[in-house]
Structure formats: structure tokens, C-alpha cells
């Protein structure tokens, strides 16, 4: 699924990466603990989180995660957005809670991003 489709499904806004609307997402991971993301997540996933610090960007970079969706109305500071833009990541933000975003994506064909699934 392309990030533009995800943004429409979740009423999400692009914080950066709007020039990369065709970025393909194969699976999803919802986590606020970046250690879980490092331990279990596949590449080419969308990471859904309520954390808005630089650890999220660095974790996504290490795991080849091209898109981060901030949930629960969270918005990162501009320096975090700039960090993601430098790494050519897509950042989205939605007011929806994490559980709802996971459910919507699952209903629309996005599967979990756990290694071994």
C-alpha cells in the first residue's frame, strides 16, 4: 500500500515526505518502545508511535522503516521533522489512537511487521 492511501485511510497529514507519496509499505508495527521495534520489526514497514523524539527517527533508520505515523494527535518538533527529511523518510500524523490505526490498516490489507510472521 502506498503512503498516500494510508494517509487517506487514517485522516493523516504529511509532516514531511509529501514528495514521496508512492513509498510502498508492506507491513506495520505499532510501538512506543523502540527496543521492541529493534527486536521484532521487518523493513519496509510503517511505524505507528506516540513518541516524538529523535530515537524514533534513529530507530526507523536502523530498521529501514521508510514511514512513521505519529498517533494520538502527537506532533514532533521541527528538528525531528528535519532529521526525518534529511533521511528521506515520510512522516505522517493522525489524531486517531494507535489501536484504531492498527485496526484500520489491518482491515485494509496491511499485516503485522513482526519478523517470523
Domain range list for the chain: 3-111
The low-confidence residues of the chain, meaning pLDDT below 70, are 113-117
Q: What is the pLDDT of residue 111?
A: 85
pTM for the model? 0.93
Q: What is the pLDDT of residue 115?
A: 52
Q: What is the pLDDT of residue 114?
A: 58
Residue 45 host element (H or E): strand 45-49
Class of domain 3-111: alpha beta
Residue 68 host element (H or E): strand 67-70
Going by C-beta distance under 8 Å and a sequence separation of 6 or more, which residues neighbour residue 97? 71, 72
Amino acid at each position: 500500500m502506498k503512503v498516500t492511501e494510508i494517509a487517506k485511510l487514517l485522516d493523516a497529514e504529511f509532516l514531511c515526505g509529501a514528495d514521496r507519496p508512492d513509498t510502498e509499505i508492506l507491513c506495520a508495527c505499532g510501538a512506543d518502545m523502540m527496543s521492541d521495534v529493534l527486536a521484532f520489526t521487518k523493513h519496509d514497514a510503517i511505524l505507528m508511535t506516540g513518541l516524538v523524539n529523535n530515537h524514533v527517527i534513529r530507530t526507523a533508520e536502523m530498521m529501514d522503516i521508510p514511514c512513521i505515523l505519529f498517533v494520538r494527535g502527537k506532533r514532533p518538533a521541527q528538528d525531528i521533522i528535519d532529521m526525518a527529511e534529511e533521511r528521506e523518510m515520510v512522516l505522517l500524523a493522525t489524531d486517531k489512537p494507535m489501536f484504531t490505526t492498527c485496526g484500520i490498516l489491518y482491515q485494509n490489507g496491511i499485516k503485522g511487521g513482526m519478523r517470523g510472521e
